[in-house]
Amino acid sequence: MSINQQTEQNRRPVLAKWANIPFSPAKWPFFYGWMIVAVSTVSIVCSIPGQTAGVGVFTDHIIDALDLTRDELSLAYMIGTLSSGFILPFAGRLLDVIGVRLMSLFASLGLAGSLLILSHVDRLADWLSRRIPSDLTALPGIEPLADLLTRFFPSGLTAGAAAAIAFLFIRFFGQGNMTTVGRVAMGRWFNRHRGMATAISGVPATFAFNAAPWLLAGLIAALGWRQACWLMAGIVGGGMATLGLLFFRDNPEECGLTMDGTPLTEEAQQKHPDLHPIYRDFTRREALKTLSFWTTALLLSLHGMIVTAVAFHITDFGQDAGKSAEEATRLFLYFVFITLPVRFLTAYLMDRTRIPLSWVLMALSTTIAGGIYGLIFFDTPVGFGTTILMFGISGGMWGVLADASLPRFFGRKHLGAISSAAMSAMVLSSAMGPVLFSYGKTWLGSYQDALLWMLILPAGLLVMSLLTRNPQHRCAPQP
């Protein structure tokens, strides 16, 4: 399909008529797509309060405020995150209709409100306790459910419910919507340079995510955990909402531009050949029927699940390995020195060569397995170094794949719906990680025993990667 055909088929969101307000992107002295990269990066960074890298630093304070056990809080985190994952696909459809500009405003204000709820989670628990009967088994028809909930939350059902509600909102608006908005925006503005655009975006984002536990811990020590939530709510609700409304645009065509800023001339097309052309835009239903979608989504989810679990329990995990909280949280800072060069190398290979994405998927599954091995021997210098090396490499590949693989496989037209489906899988898996770690330690005696069983997962995904092919190849016109 030609670029002109793609332009004609591209759906225009309801805000397209406002594309040149308050300024015209076509009149900028450089390709406006790079401004989209900058704002998308800020959006992804602003999702940190809803990511486990941000939430994990607050877990001990929430446990104290609600008087819950670590297992109970992990379960509440899973319930909230699972609930978020189930409703994310609806948000993806909404994004395709209203565009990234208005969706950014919605997500920013939603995350700000969620942080305010989190800062008063104990008061929410008190409010629920006055409206939920202390003995749920007295209510007709729910005796089995009430007995199950009481068994899982012996310290207090309303406290667990309050934590789950707070986690639902911050995960939905933070990890789900803020991240999806940034990724979809970049995916719609770039094709030939999509990998490089995401790699450049990944530089500040990687530093921010890996430094977040350390920085937030210092912020909490200086202000208090509630005040830290208020400050982040102000930054996201005021700063990111304004940036998104001013600078986001849904796609280059509504601004009178083209993807990558390449002119629609034969000479320009010959000078900049498209190594990965899009012949067809897949719907979400069609994408969900492909092995390509599930291999990519499950690999991204597995990596996220393990990193989420470690980040959520980083203090306790480090203590079991004989490391202080400061030493353990610095682990994420060490990843940066490996993640960034790997990210640019992966972007170069995906943009400038015809390397099959299945090769990148195979490499990702292998390095995830290596990272799990390192975590099993985290208390040794070799294990600690292996963890940094393997998860540093996998993190670099993960960042590019998360942003660039789905538009390359399935096109742009339904990218919001398809990306939200993949994000839903990542959110659901991240919900399971902390619970598997927490209960794995409780039932098996250590985190390491739980990690041994997890080695089965990357092995299975390696086999799926070997069989994965780009669906666009089946749609190519026959010579």
Amino acid identity at 433: G
The tokens of 222 are what?
């200086």
For 23-44, write each residue's pLDDT tens digit: 999 899 999 999 999 999 999 9
* φ and ψ of 414, to 5 deg: -115, 30
The mean pLDDT value for 62-79 works out to: 86
Tell whether 8 is covered by a domain.
no
Whether 146 shows a pLDDT value over 80: the answer reads no
The verdict on residue 3 lying in a domain is: no
Has residue 13 been placed in a domain? no
Q: How would DSSP label each residue in 383-422?
A: HHHHHHHHHHHHHHHHHHHHHHHHHHHH-STTHHHHHHHH
Report the pLDDT value the prediction gives residue 11, as an integer from 0 to 100: 46
**pLDDT above 80 (res 122):** yes
* C-alpha separations of 79 from 75, 117, 143, 366, 410 in Å: 6, 17, 20, 30, 31
Alpha-helical runs (H) found in 24-142: 33-45, 52-55, 59-66, 70-119, 121-129
Q: Are 229 and 116 in contact (CB under 8 A)?
A: yes
- Encode pLDDT of 369-417 as tens digits: 999 998 888 888 898 889 889 999 998 898 888 877 888 889 888 888 8
| Residue ranges making up the domain that contains 358 | 23-472
Residue 12 in any domain: the answer is no
Tell whether 9 is covered by a domain: no
In a domain, 170, yes or no: yes
Domain count, the chain: 1
For residues 453-465, give the mean pLDDT. 92
- This prediction has a pTM of 0.75
Residue 17 belongs to some domain of the structure: no
Length in residues, the chain: 479
Average pLDDT, the chain: 83
Residue 347 in domain = yes
Burial class (CB in 10 A: 0-12, 13-18, 19+), 383: middle
For residue range 313-352, list pLDDT tens digits in order: 777 777 777 776 667 767 777 887 898 899 889 888 887 7
- pLDDT, residue 239, reads 94
CATH number at residue 149: 1.20.1250.20
